[in-house]
Structure 1
């Protein structure tokens, strides 16, 4: 599955097509999620797609690549400048671009630049996890990092309503947020969350007891959660759920 989401910004359609084809042929871990031909359309595409990386031309109609970057503080994505002009290189580095490539782009140089971007993102993700770990060691209100195909999110464990198995994945339902599909199985989340009181009520369901509203005893037992969803209780787990209710 591609992990690096790329937006190509260049006023020449031929250049955009070349970059897209080079990435498709030589770097399967990346996905071109959009294209733009000038500063205004690039800003719109950034809002729509939230890219990890922009391959950014410098000279474009209506403004430069630097004009685009000046709209962001901090810059929420990585940048590789694509340019035919050597004299722009120094200024590009002043904007903390991880790299720049000269036109025409050489495939090996593009691959090396993309690899450097991924390594830098991996380091940042590791630091994010480390910071969450340190906070969890100090606080009662613990957090978890949920790494999906589209994003990494820090979520309070107390905000997780329930987890539901979806084949080899797990869908996480969060209070007042959209659900998230994570590429870990439910057993892994059971091991992580059961110390925080989560209950495995079914082979496909793990629930946060703080969000249980009632137990419907019909048809073998169904938990009604505070978000109005129903979660089936397996025959094997039914007595455990009754015991939990009796403790309250």
Structure 2
């Protein structure tokens, strides 16, 4: 895929070019150092994919896209700022990578590009009935919206999903937003190698476990980073031990 890197920082362009060397399907046809340069290079080189910075001298990344009338390439935004995430999705971006770009996140973006899938869907939208939905792993990022507040969250940072009636509460950092989604629907979407259904009300992030203790009737209790203590039911404790055993 013919690819143009657009970024005003030379070191950022060089690092992205280095990371992209691992992908034979990506052909870097050029680089642009600002918005005006990007528009000229897009017209000249006809790229199929842009890695597009947002904050640049002159025209920003959004203004560049607004000036493209036809033959608009696929776009993966690259930026050091997460506050533009919501607006990025309004431009149908394939992905939104925060600098410094992590190889795992770049790999997820390239896989999504190959599969011709849309970017991470907001957890507040969509239906569990959608066919062949992508399994979400720890490096995937999602929008979470609760009232007037919204977050752009890497799922690996979510330590706990808690069922609250028809809602699910996400626990990450010091935030606990609610989303209108059933725990069962999330359980079907989340990578079972990372996120484990502990009981009827909780899904835990296995990477966030600090301690494990025996509990009543063959169950277990785990303490997560952040202090949450979650019971693993007796039935699930069997699966838990099998999953974590050598």
- Coarse TM-score class (shorter-chain normalised): 0.3 to 0.5
Higher-Rg structure is 1
Report which of the two has the higher share of helix: 1
TM-score normalised by L of structure 1: 0.46
TM-score normalised by L of structure 2: 0.46
